[in-house]
Chains A and B, each alone.
Chain A
């Protein structure tokens, strides 16, 4: 026990241990897992594609769906608007893990058209990869669509009422051009903020989804290493999560600036 403590550096004061870890971490060395001696960097690199596949897949699907139904509801209003509202409330009411369980039972088990669990790496089998992501992405996307489509709908309605839209229409600009170039662009900044918040939320939502679908991602790694007290791996996953959050925020700021010159000036 004593020999192992020395080997792991646990005999040193906490601050020294932290400095040792930090000085290695900034050089890209996150240490080795206490459980199996595997490098933390390797463990994370091995699993990050899974979590990113789910998170990015969910964002892509939810943005695409929200854009279509949010804008349609904002432009057409009436019955369509009400249907979108009902879907949104439904999406907010049903938690992702519940939806995941329902989807597994009906789509995977009863109909047998998609795998119930597991992950196939893209490099091994692109079709298998795609199939293994459908249910996890769909169960997470519903909640994301609910919030996002509402945001797009209200931004669309607000923008459509602006004087310059009336001016543009009066100049005979085609409606699709007005919507895509002007309405969408003005509705984008608050929407992007929600997308970035969704993405960050997905990193934690993935923990539950990864358990249900037995996906070997960062979420399940964090859970296993936390319960087994594997501190280097826990620290590694936290660091990676922080880096992802910072990168997503920077990316959102950049895209906002690209879309909206006013943001660039300020």
Chain B
């Protein structure tokens, strides 16, 4: 039997608890003074490891940037700027890249940052088997000439190397930690903040506190950064509206609700979405060898309507894969393939496939549920029967790259430097040129781009872009708009070519 005294004690405890809760604020977040506020971000992903060699791009950068400075800093417009490297230069044929490093930087474990440490990091990234190891594929050797001079020797010219060194392959970690058993959970870099393990709970929140010895106080706009993994977009919006977080990645689906709620919405170009034809040689689907079939598929999709109905109109219709920021971009190519079923049918007939054929492509629950039926119906109009092979969301990417499918529907980022798209999608060894297709024209153009200086490369990139559109190597539908939401307590500048703004782009609202 419960005694009266214990009941009273229970009441007393409850009252005290309520009293405490009334006093404690449930609204963390920024106060008005710069440098004293806390920046709290909601993230749709959670890192599996804090080892930079195992890190990824996209949303993951916000978890790594507070701790790890990069050699190069990506400025908001996607261009490279100085960070741990004060300056850099190429040799005459662009195969040797020399860096002048800062000499006033220390890792948070007290070790000095110098060329030897940078070399150790690059060597490790190249061999550690991480998901982005290919970013340093052109790197043949690294030499630390003296404490502040680092020389990278390349096996071939690599126009995207500089931009890559502003991301995961450029994260600098204290070499002393390479052999630390806790390397996955205790990151040690030279960055503006340090991960505070005592205030970090995996799955709930990651807290970063100011690195008092940081070399560039301008990049420390907040006293602390808290990142809360919240996979559900609605949960993130609720957290933002109730003041629990200050920033979040979003999708077009919630943009009208966000605008109604007086949330600040930053919009910038996100992925391009469409078909990527792997089998341009016709080994799996002989029909795809004929460019007219690929062109017909470009004409058969009603991009505008799909963008309006599925993407809620947030984006721009296009037929090219290059970013408007890159020198390869040609505005007219956005309308190269309009919606024209008659033309598509006649191209199919010319190619000898008036009766159509069956095309097998992978689909998964991570795709917008409306997409598979819409694309199936679009292609059915010109006789192409799509056989969607459903695979698990976890295996989706691996399945797309397995080489079993002649084409896929996918979305890809649009790097501000055209070479990013080349190494991702076009070059014979590109990860997304799954069946290694190439032809003499493309090879010649790629060779020209590699040898050209940045200023001269533009026209060659444009030539490549025109050729790819003409040959219908891809069937891009649209560039989607990527929204990022913030509370009124912070300001943010969008980051070109990155899924989320860098942490340096946030400042307390004035």
Q: Which chain A residues have a beta carbon within 8 Å of chain B's beta carbons?
A: 35-37, 46-47, 101, 104-105, 108-109, 112-119, 121, 124-128, 130-131, 211-214, 216, 220-221, 224, 227-229
Contacts and interface: CB of A to CB of B under 8 A. Distances in A.
Contacts of B27: 112
Given A37-B184, A130-B21, A211-B235, A118 B244 contact: yes
Interface stretch (B112-120, B353-361, B388-396, B467-475): B388-396
B242 A115 contact: yes
Interface residues of B, number: 34
A213 B244 CA distance: 12
B230 A228 contact: no
A36 B48 CA distance: 5
13 contacts: A46-B203, A47-B203, A101-B234, A108-B238, A112-B243, A116-B239, A116-B244, A127-B23, A128-B21, A214-B228, A214-B231, A214-B236, A227-B392
Contacts of A116: 235, 238-239, 241-242, 244
B26 interface: yes
Contacts of A115: 26, 242, 244
B24 interface: yes
Given A46-B202, A127-B20, A211-B231, A36 B239 contact: no
A145 B236 CA distance: 29
Interface string B184-214: 1000000000000001011111000000000
B218 interface: no
Given A118-B204, A220-B203, A214 B230 contact: yes
Contacts of B201: 46, 121, 124, 216
Contacts of A101: 234
B439 interface: no
A227 B48 contact: no
Interface string B414-433: 00000000000000000000
Interface string B211-239: 00000000000000000111110111011
Contact of A117 (B24, B203, B239, B394): B239
A113 B243 CA distance: 11
B49 interface: yes
A109 B239 CA distance: 8
A119 B26 contact: no
Contacts of B244: 115-118
A36 B238 CA distance: 29
Looking at B228, B239, B393, the one whose CB has the most chain A CB atoms below 10 A away is B239
Contacts of A213: 235
B26 A117 contact: no
A96 to B, nearest CB: 15
B20 A126 contact: yes
B238 A229 contact: no
